[in-house]
Amino acid sequence: MGHDGASGVEPGTDGGQKSSVSEDLDLRAINTIRSLSIDMIQAANSGHPGTPLGVAPVAYALWNDVLRYDPADPLWPSRDRFVLSAGHASALLYSLLHLSGVSAVGEQAAEDPRRKHAVTLDDLRTFRQLGSVCPGHPEYGLTSGVETTTGPLGQGLANSVGMALAGRWLAARYDRGAELFGFDVWALAGDGCLMEGIAAEAASLAGHQQLSNLCWIYDRNQITIDGSTDITFTENVPERFASYGWSVVEVADANDLSSVRAALESARAERSKPTLVIVQSHIGFGSPVIDSPKAHGEALGPENVAKTKEALGLPLEDFFVDPRAEEAFAKGLRARGEAEHRAWVESFNAYRAAHPDLAHELESLWAGRLPDGWDADLPAFEASTKGEATRASSSTVLNALSQRIPWLVGGSADLAGSNKTWLNGEGMGTMSPEDPGGRNINYGIREHAAAAVASGLALCGLQSYWATFLIFSDYARPAMRLSALMELPVLHVFTHDSIGVGEDGPTHQPIEHLASLRAMPNLWVFRPADSNEVTEAWKSALSHRHGPSLLALSRQNLPVLDREQYSSASGAARGAYVLAEATGGAPSVLLLATGSEVALALEARSVLEAEGIPTRVVSMPCLELFAEQDGDYRASVLPPEVRARVSIELGAGLGWDRFVGDAGEIVAMTSFGASAPASDLATHFGFTTETVVAAARRSRAIANT
Amino acid sequence: MGHDGASGVEPGTDGGQKSSVSEDLDLRAINTIRSLSIDMIQAANSGHPGTPLGVAPVAYALWNDVLRYDPADPLWPSRDRFVLSAGHASALLYSLLHLSGVSAVGEQAAEDPRRKHAVTLDDLRTFRQLGSVCPGHPEYGLTSGVETTTGPLGQGLANSVGMALAGRWLAARYDRGAELFGFDVWALAGDGCLMEGIAAEAASLAGHQQLSNLCWIYDRNQITIDGSTDITFTENVPERFASYGWSVVEVADANDLSSVRAALESARAERSKPTLVIVQSHIGFGSPVIDSPKAHGEALGPENVAKTKEALGLPLEDFFVDPRAEEAFAKGLRARGEAEHRAWVESFNAYRAAHPDLAHELESLWAGRLPDGWDADLPAFEASTKGEATRASSSTVLNALSQRIPWLVGGSADLAGSNKTWLNGEGMGTMSPEDPGGRNINYGIREHAAAAVASGLALCGLQSYWATFLIFSDYARPAMRLSALMELPVLHVFTHDSIGVGEDGPTHQPIEHLASLRAMPNLWVFRPADSNEVTEAWKSALSHRHGPSLLALSRQNLPVLDREQYSSASGAARGAYVLAEATGGAPSVLLLATGSEVALALEARSVLEAEGIPTRVVSMPCLELFAEQDGDYRASVLPPEVRARVSIELGAGLGWDRFVGDAGEIVAMTSFGASAPASDLATHFGFTTETVVAAARRSRAIANT
């Protein structure tokens, strides 16, 4: 890890085992963390007291003696990141944030997009209540000092790998000898996190990447909700992590501060690999339910709260804050952080003088903005009946963007050639121990970790993307959901977006995926119809700074529409637009389609118009974006008086009733797919001009009755 | 593993290293597998030749010299299971099935639910074409000899753990000294499978369970689609599996049949833990693209097919079958399998005489039926305004069922107490090395593996279930999808089904989940409104033998409806039913609701009726089941002439337009949830009587214009 010599407070001479304050202050602080945590949970009558009680000494030692962090500026770019992967222990984190005095962000400016609240003593009293900045699980973007949203197990660990990659990448690209970055990333996890598959994927990737700036602290209390870990979790964790290429350090007792500190210092000193610090702890330490699953997920009850305080030698008073606990943080974390931060600001000022362009880039990156002119070179595609696959057009767009957005980084879960997400430009490189500033990431066949790593990169300001087949978005949904909940501008790039996959068959053909992803709040789902809509989709997606976007791209060629004949693709920026107006301008029927089915809609339109039926084709690449348009625009695209409507999409029909209405028809998949050449499947499953035309006739008949 | 002394053919005396036939026949068979595989792929001009070429000797050695399998009866319950987890190597499997002569199942009876096709030479020619029994990835239920559907990586491995648990469970419950079961399970996987998190979860669980009847064969060719595994997969796999408690055996060369056999025999001889056999192979062996990612996922091309055949010393003829290859399988697998099967039939006949009841049970289990009277003791619940959580009622129903269905087994992913899925009855036990016949399974915090293990159990005839919070269904979607694609009667039990979760907040509150799961073909989603609908939901779900079902259950209490006042809960068996008819019988507005919102709909009905608006409440616990009803019934529940409609569901509104129509209103969640007591959240998000009543008034106004 980094920065071990940069501390503003003299480190201990015995391997960092000494406190930066005193043993008395240490104990006061630790027990105050404990008592505040159980008080919060008792006040809410809901929460998880066991982990805060057990692991408080470890969290304290990390924060007060090790963490590079200035509570006065929780957005300091060079800060160490602390991830509470065991998010149910949120009370622990809120106690720490309060006692260490982490400041609010942007409170003066209500519109500050980075606005985050400090945790006051009153906030602790509102734990788990509506509107509290202390919700049940830590929420990024709400509470100052919360680096990522956690709770679903394993996710924070995988985020931390993305953060560590980001720190190393930022240092490689920007440091220029100035040590601006090189921060360390610390994640605290329990047995549950380590059992999850995503943690295994993330650990393997971190080991491969030799992320020496990463430390996972494993709070090993051997108790899960259903009982002792003996009932199902008996693997040899140290051996497992050694197999991933990690350093493993064990601490026999979480209350042995000196050993805890030594372990954390050894993680910081490690220069060639990530470190797992395994700390044996007692869930519910100090309480009558110590070492019991009962300590895990419910308030202790007033009686046991009192007994716990007694056992810890604390006053019974609710929300008691020992002044010496605050003193401990003032003398430890705050003093050190302030000094380190001050030194850093001086460095950065010198850096800005020496590298104004790079400093300007960094200021954009820190603010979550893209660089000026990021969309200056976006390609326009020539009309072509042969066309090209939208995944191929996407490659062209992505590579153009990569030249303009220096911090655009990403890759595929072992499908770079199929997803066409490789950055080919000179010097793009591959992110690795040898080339930490590389722009391409080989995530491996680890979709779940890939999505969470992409969020970790974004949490450190990088514009990240990752890719796989649309079908395998299923492997990554929990992490995608968190990117949506955190409103991160992560790009999820999914190719092979329908039965157009062809021969690989139903295991590889998405059916329910578009509908199921559209159901997720905050996620924008783009399914462009041709190459020029791909350009627009990337542009809209990257412009969307407060939420993730998804691109669903075709494996197969799609015609590049002649925009002299049809409307400009710029209409895609409004989510849906009239692509081909009905002859005469008064449509008798509307054909609504996305992606590969837009060309089919145009073919059906020709047939219908030849029959004298004025037919409008609406391309709908992003339903979420369309929903954000004003009612007039929406009514201009989908006039309420035109009730004859057909939607066409190679996926489940769920959700299309909203657009086609009572008289409408939905051409959709009603079963899983099959293995065959794509053209045979289109016929087999009724995605033909005839089917669409017949549906249009039926809808007209219904609309006219 | 088991049965090593039961072979009908004398095993080799040097540790099983000798062929059961001859070196010449071995080589002919192996190379015929190779040439058939590349011919299939070339004919389709699509597929994955690399793995079949590389791993053919291993697959051959396993099938012809080790596997306990009678090709004449591919449903023989005591057969070893072979799982091709690397499903993209399907050509290898089809070649094996053809050459070894695996018979069709149920071809005489078109309605035989077990009907599965044999693979003829003509079928190989139709590889990856519409209607072929040789689809792109192996599909369970279509092709005789395919034990599970694979392709999405890692899934087959996790299925194999379920199969191994099932084999051990069946032996523990039924063997009574007769060795009817105790089959072994063999899975073949590549680098991709091992990188997936689900494989890590499954391996950890298998190690904990000490599944000595399980062997994973890791085809280590160190090539994935994006290149060498060096680019991202450098963990120490043997050490990793040792950490899980597995035995690890390495074979340096896949073409060294003697070593391959020795390794497989050592796996079979292992008595205390699962075995990982690591075989170093060369992707695309024999072809000009050996050891290259090019060998992975596309046809070799006619020229390279020819060169490969030349290099292997084979005639150039398409789909050439060396008669000596068939001779090899006749003398090896078929002779051995027939003898073993014959001996088993004798054993079973004796067993049937000694244990007629158990034999009868087994015959039901093998046929996929539930035992007679399985639903005889289902509970009815007394009306109660205090009510109870549907998860609690579910526990009552599940425990009643467990007494009647001896092979009902399952458990929770570490939330047994919260999901209320524990089987409490006497002798239920916990499935473990010490109690292999236990009925409760501690899946651990491994949702993805849990769902796939549940499928593996079902594939061996057990009635399986698994449970977690509804939010965490996201972790298991790929495995759930495969249960739906395979049409397995797995039960996915999900509690905490809405923002009713309360304080745990948005990370734990499902929003998009109901909609997104309803979008999945073949999956029945039940969301019962009260305890008696829970009984009906379990009954319908278990009656559904050709697809999985999902139960979405409340954390919070729901009133047990007075069925004297309202319709009988038996209406739930039709998916949706009129729960409360409008006064006078002619509704002016319909309120449609599921689960916890049905009580809210009834409250709103009272207000509306008091205003003189005749209001019908329709409870819709299973939309899929409702869709299966005839049109008359559906129209009787949702009369087309009643256009004023409101749907109420504590989830995303996607999909409800279908039921409420153009004049309808949807009361739904339009954002993520929040952390607060559930009642505060209901008010905050507008799930109140007032909101519903207002929506009904609006809808009436629209309908009346």
Residue B616: pLDDT over 80: yes
**Mutation site, B208, B442, B445, interface A, largest A CB count within 10 A:** B445
Q: Who contacts B236 (Cβ-Cβ below 8 Å, separation ≥6)?
A: A242, A243, A244, A245
Residue A15: pLDDT over 70: no
Q: What is the pLDDT of residue A631?
A: 98
Q: Which CATH number among 3.40.1160.10, 3.30.70.1230, 3.20.20.70, 3.40.50.920 corresponds to the domain B572-703?
A: 3.40.50.920
User: How confident is the prediction for chain B on average, in pLDDT?
Assistant: 95
Q: What is the DSSP string of A625-691?
A: HHHTS-HHHHHHHS-TT---EEEEEEEE-TTTHHHH-TT-EEEEE-S---SS-HHHHHHHTT-SHHH
Q: Within 13 A of B153's CA, how many CA atoms are on the CB side?
A: 23
Q: What is the pLDDT of residue B681?
A: 98
Picking from B130, B443, B445, the nearest residue to A153 by CB comes out as: B445
Q: What is the pLDDT of residue B2?
A: 56
Picking from B132, B448, B507, the nearest residue to A485 by CB comes out as: B507
Q: What is the DSSP string of A274-293?
A: -EEEEEE--TTTTSTTTTSG
Cβ separation A153–B207 shorter than 8 A: no
Alpha helices, DSSP H, located in B211-295: 237-243, 257-269
> Average pLDDT of B559-588?
97
Q: Which residues of A are catalytically annotated?
A: 447
Residue B99: pLDDT over 60: yes
Closest-CA distance of chain A to residue B133, Å: 10
| Same-fold call for B23-345 versus B384-559 | yes
Q: B445 to chain A: which residues are within 8 Å by CB?
A: 153, 191-192, 195-196, 224, 233
Cβ separation B245–A224 shorter than 8 A: no
Q: B237 to chain A: which residues are within 8 Å by CB?
A: 243
Residue of A nearest to B237 (CA): A243
Q: B417 to chain A: which residues are within 8 Å by CB?
A: 225-226, 293
Q: What is the pLDDT of residue B332?
A: 97
Q: What is the DSSP string of A65-94?
A: II----TT-TT-TTPPEEEESSGGGHHHHH
Cβ separation A430–B237 shorter than 8 A: no
SS3 of A31, please?
Answer: helix
**Mutation site, A675, A684, A687, interface B, largest B CB count within 10 A:** A675
SS3 of B50, please?
Answer: helix
Q: Who contacts A427 (Cβ-Cβ below 8 Å, separation ≥6)?
A: none
Copy the structure tokens of residue A240.
């497992």
Q: Which CATH number among 3.40.50.970, 3.40.50.300, 3.40.190.10, 3.40.50.2000 corresponds to the domain B23-345?
A: 3.40.50.970
pLDDT per position as a tens digit, B416-462: 999 999 999 999 999 999 999 999 999 999 999 999 999 999 999 99
CATH architecture label of A24-344: 3-Layer(aba) Sandwich (3.40)
**Mutation site, B654, B680, B685, interface A, largest A CB count within 10 A:** B654
Q: Which amino acid is at A176?
A: R
Residue B573: pLDDT over 90: yes
> Average pLDDT of A590-619?
98
**Mutation site, A226, A455, A486, interface B, largest B CB count within 10 A:** A226
pLDDT per position as a tens digit, B18-36: 788 899 999 999 999 999 9
Picking from B197, B474, B507, the nearest residue to A446 by CB comes out as: B197
ipTM over 0.95: yes
Q: How far apart are CA A95 and CA B630, in angstroms?
A: 59
Cβ separation B47–A226 shorter than 8 A: no
Q: A207 to chain B: which residues are within 8 Å by CB?
A: 234-235
> Measuring CA to CA, which residue among B365, B435, B490, B465 is closest to residue B77?
B365
Picking from A44, A232, A475, the nearest residue to B208 by CB comes out as: A232
> Average pLDDT of A239-265?
98
Q: Which amino acid is at A482?
A: L
User: How confident is the prediction for chain A on average, in pLDDT?
Assistant: 95
Produce one character per residue of A560-574: b if its CB has 16 or more CB atoms within 10 Å, e if not. Answer: bbebeebbebebbbb
Cβ separation B658–A657 shorter than 8 A: yes
How many beta-carbon pairs under 8 angstroms link A with B?
Answer: 351
Picking from A236, A485, A515, the nearest residue to B506 by CB comes out as: A485
Cβ separation A137–B415 shorter than 8 A: no
CB B463 within 8 Å of CB B423 = no
Q: What is the pLDDT of residue A229?
A: 86
Measured in degrees and rounded to the nearest 5, phi and psi for residue B355 equal -135, 65
Which strands form B214-220's sheet, in the order they lie side by side? Answer: B81-84, B185-189, B214-220, B275-280, B247-251
CB B333 within 8 Å of CB B67 = yes
Cβ separation A150–B507 shorter than 8 A: yes
Picking from B129, B233, B474, the nearest residue to A477 by CB comes out as: B474
Q: Who contacts A620 (Cβ-Cβ below 8 Å, separation ≥6)?
A: A575, A576, A592, A593, A594, A626, A659
Q: How far apart are CA B544 and CA B677, in angstroms?
A: 37
Q: What is the pLDDT of residue A94?
A: 98
pLDDT per position as a tens digit, A27-61: 999 999 999 999 999 999 999 999 999 999 999 99
> Measuring CA to CA, which residue among A608, A596, A622, A607 is closest to residue A687?
A596
Closest-CA distance of chain A to residue B674, Å: 7
Active-site hit among B447, B533, B536, B649: B447
Cβ separation A243–B237 shorter than 8 A: yes
Closest-CA distance of chain B to residue A230, Å: 9
How far is C-alpha A697 from the chain's CA centre? 45
Q: What is the pLDDT of residue B329?
A: 98
Q: What is the pLDDT of residue A5?
A: 40
Copy the structure tokens of residue A486.
């955190």
Cβ separation A232–B444 shorter than 8 A: yes
Q: How far apart are CA B500 and CA B557, in angstroms?
A: 10
Compute the radius of gyration of chain A from its Cα atoms. 28
Lowest mean pLDDT among A18-27, A626-635, B359-368: A18-27
Q: Is B611 exposed, middle or buried (0-12, 13-18, 19+ CB in 10 A)?
A: exposed
Q: What is the pLDDT of residue B106?
A: 87
Residue of B nearest to A191 (CA): B445
Q: How far apart are CA B325 and CA B667, in angstroms?
A: 65
Cβ separation B503–A151 shorter than 8 A: no
Domain B384-559: give its CATH code. Answer: 3.40.50.970
Residue A110: pLDDT over 80: no
Q: A130 to chain B: which residues are within 8 Å by CB?
A: 674-677, 680-681, 684
Residue B264: pLDDT over 60: yes
H or E stretch at B390:
helix B390-404
Q: What is the pTM of this model?
A: 0.97
Cβ separation B201–A196 shorter than 8 A: yes
Q: Which amino acid is at B574?
A: R
Picking from B132, B136, B225, the nearest residue to A415 by CB comes out as: B225
**Mutation site, B474, B514, B670, interface A, largest A CB count within 10 A:** B474
Cβ separation B415–A226 shorter than 8 A: yes
CB atoms near residue A526 (< 10 Å) = 28
Q: How far apart are CA A459 and CA A83, in angstroms?
A: 11
pLDDT band, very low/low/confident/very high, at B8 (cuts 50, 70, 90):
very low
Q: How far apart are CA B93 and CA B98, in angstroms?
A: 9
Copy the structure tokens of residue A596.
């590969």
Cβ separation A516–B521 shorter than 8 A: no
Picking from A226, A474, A515, the nearest residue to B416 by CB comes out as: A226
Q: A89 to chain B: which residues are within 8 Å by CB?
A: none
Q: How far apart are CA A534 and CA A570, in angstroms?
A: 10
Please state the domain extents for chain B.
Answer: 23-345, 384-559, 572-703
> Average pLDDT of A477-483?
98
CB atoms near residue A418 (< 10 Å) = 18
Q: How far apart are CA B127 and CA B141, in angstroms?
A: 17
SS3 readout for B126-187:
CCCCCCCCCCCCCCCCCECCCCCCCCCCCHHHHHHHHHHHHHHHHHHHHCCCCCCCCCCEEE
Cβ separation A196–B198 shorter than 8 A: no
Q: A654 to chain B: which residues are within 8 Å by CB?
A: 515, 518-519, 654-655, 658
Residue with tokens 């110590």: A290
Copy the structure tokens of residue B1.
């593993």
SS3 of B487, please?
Answer: coil
Q: Is B14 exposed, middle or buried (0-12, 13-18, 19+ CB in 10 A)?
A: exposed
